[in-house]
Amino acid sequence: MRVAVVKNILDANSRIAQENRKLFDKLGLTVINLMSSPGAGKTTLLEQMGKHFGGQLKIGVIEGDIQTTLDAERVAAAGLEAVQIETDGACHLDANMIAAAIDGADYADVDMLFIENVGNLVCTAGYDLGEHVRIVVLSTSEGDDKATKYPAIFQGSDAMVITKTDLKPHLNFNTDRITADLKRLQPDAAVFEVAALQGQGISDAADWLLAKRPHRK
């Protein structure tokens, strides 16, 4: 019985995600789902992306957190259009939450929309939100074994961004290992190394995202 219930939930989510994607395509809006464990540096990455794109693109962000509006306030302070979703205990965003967040919102002038998912390497992997691109963010402080331990989220991602690379001299983190593990799961995935607070590596990831924008107005 539980298996049937879960399947029904995922099927319903997929239908709503397809409707979200149709709307995004109609708007010419490229949508990126950012997934990671808590504290990997997604919000800092978004702040730096906002600085990098500057007046080139208008960036929107949907922030997903169990509670608080702290991250939405941060990205709004960085000049990005921000909407907060508080999940009240749910460990992931789903397509219905995204549909509710964009209902009535004006994204006509937004070029790229980031969805900062709830910090979780398990639940977030199974839910299509209607995005065009999936990125898994992994900090060096988490260790280099996560693709082996949590394969689904890496297998379903178009790219991996390794954050906090400035800490590597102080950690036992092997970039070659995590990259090899990722490539076994998703051979076509791109890999970027960034030290976001210093702005290092941001331009490479940003250029890759620009090339992923077929949904131009």
pLDDT tens column, 29-76: 999 999 999 999 999 999 999 999 987 899 999 999 998 888 999 999
pLDDT tens column, 102-133: 987 788 889 999 999 999 999 999 999 999 99
Reported confidence tier of residue 164, pLDDT bands at 50, 70, 90: very high
Percent of the chain surpassing pLDDT 70: 94
pTM to 2 decimal places? 0.92
Alpha helix segments (H runs only) across the chain: 2-27, 42-53, 70-77, 95-102, 146-149, 151-155, 175-185, 202-211
Residue 217, pLDDT above cutoff 50: no
Please tell me the distance from the alpha carbon of residue 144 to that of residue 205, in angstroms, as a whole number.
20
Cα–Cα distances (Å) from 72 to 44, 94, 117, in that order, read: 12, 18, 12
Antiparallel, parallel or unpaired: β 30-36 and 159-163: unpaired
Please tell me the distance from the alpha carbon of residue 100 to that of residue 92, in angstroms, as a whole number.
15
Q: What is the CATH number of domain 2-211?
A: 3.40.50.300
Name residue 92's amino acid.
H
Strands of the sheet with 112-116, listed across from one edge: 81-86, 59-65, 112-116, 30-36, 133-139, 159-163, 190-193
Residues 6+ apart with CB under 8 A from 168: 140, 175
Residues 6+ apart with CB under 8 A from 179: 160, 191
* SS3 label, residue 58: coil
Residue ranges per structural domain of the chain: 2-211
